[in-house]
Amino acid sequence: MSRPAVRALAPYVAGTSIEEVRRRFGHARIVKLASNENPLGSSPLALAALRSADRLNLYLDDAHEALRERLGQREGLQAENVVLGHGSNEIVNTIAQTFLDPGDEVVMADPTFSLYRLAVSLVGALPVEVPLLDGVHDIERMLAAVGPRTKAFFVCDPNNPTATVLPAFAWDYLLERLPPDVLLVIDRAYAEYLDTPGFEVASVVLGRGNVVVLRTMSKAYGLASLRFGYAYGDRESIDWLQRVRLPFNVSRPAALGAAAALDDRAFLEKSIALNAVERSRVIGELRERGFHCYPSGANFYAVTVPISAHEAYEALLERGIIVRSGDALRMPGRLRVTVGTNEENDAFLAALAGATIGDRA
């Protein structure tokens, strides 16, 4: 029999796959806007590096010193301030295993990325969930929820599933008031899409300490399937995470692909530019149609629908469009939709009209 914490667990639910929709409806063309993936594919330089990955029979370079140094330099930090992961998901789990004891409390928003609740609960710690205010982290109420048992404080920025961003003054407010003994975890999976960062990573890492800033190459670099994430932190926090992470958690192909993707400025810039143009076009169009959309700082958006989120999700599936239902993300009444290519977004807009006001309207 498994542990009670495992039995109580509501498992992570990933977005619906293209294969599943094809099985159900038999569509030849399916548009997947469900998992915030890069619609332009992957960095070509990364793909070329992966094709030449060799010596897979060997356990090679578990320290990844050069890559960590490079990632560190991007923020004015050192290799010792960087830990790598099998996606940033893995680092969330490692944080829970490294820092949390049963009964410790962890303050986080609601809704936010569901993995935090899962990882925290699995080690017997207690998520303390504070509702968003107009779709944004309510930092004042989150700080008020910090008590003697609070061990960590999670901020997802931009927040999944709302795509909302904390303004710079809220970062200042938080950084001034969060007790120094509370580990601050900032998830910046969508950082590349932000117009303004809100805070400076190096000054928080070196000035405050007791902080872990999560990053991933799954989104803007188009490498979701490669599984490569990393985190910045003060030397002590990173040292603890290095002790706990699994040996060889980052494969050699993942490290080679990630290093090559970092060289691919052209792909990154193209991805960010497409997202900016399409995001403002689609959100503008949805608002014109009378749907409410939170401002988005990411490669997805959270939009209201006039029928239930689940009904809208199902009606879109029937039309070959995969999105996420807010019902499954603690965001009832809304869909979470990835920004796709121009053509994909048009297909979504047309299908949404059909799903909500009828195909002949």
**Which chain residues interact with ligand PLP by CB under 6 A?**
36, 87-89, 113, 156, 160, 187, 189, 216, 218, 224, 229
Shorter beta-carbon distance to ligand PLP: residue 43 or 218: 218
Shorter beta-carbon distance to ligand PLP: residue 160 or 304: 160
Shorter beta-carbon distance to ligand PLP: residue 111 or 319: 111
Shorter beta-carbon distance to ligand PLP: residue 158 or 320: 158
Provide the minimum distance between the beta carbon of 322 and ligand PLP in the complex, in angstroms, as a whole number. Answer: 15
Shorter beta-carbon distance to ligand PLP: residue 226 or 355: 226
Q: Residue 259: name the closest of 61, 55, 114, 109 by CA.
A: 61
At 131, the amino acid letter reads P
Provide the minimum distance between the beta carbon of 1 and ligand PLP in the complex, in angstroms, as a whole number. Answer: 29
Shorter beta-carbon distance to ligand PLP: residue 79 or 155: 155
Q: Measured at CB, which residue is nearest to ligand PLP?
A: 87
Pairing, β 334-338 against β 300-304: antiparallel
Alpha-carbon gap, residue 162 to 298, rounded angstroms: 9
Provide the minimum distance between the beta carbon of 336 and ligand PLP in the complex, in angstroms, as a whole number. Answer: 10
Provide the minimum distance between the beta carbon of 88 and ligand PLP in the complex, in angstroms, as a whole number. Answer: 4
Provide the minimum distance between the beta carbon of 85 and ligand PLP in the complex, in angstroms, as a whole number. Answer: 7
Provide the minimum distance between the beta carbon of 36 and ligand PLP in the complex, in angstroms, as a whole number. Answer: 5
Provide the minimum distance between the beta carbon of 216 and ligand PLP in the complex, in angstroms, as a whole number. Answer: 3
Provide the minimum distance between the beta carbon of 84 and ligand PLP in the complex, in angstroms, as a whole number. Answer: 11
Shorter beta-carbon distance to ligand PLP: residue 171 or 230: 230
- 100 neighbors 125 (Cβ within 8 angstroms): yes
Shorter beta-carbon distance to ligand PLP: residue 34 or 282: 34
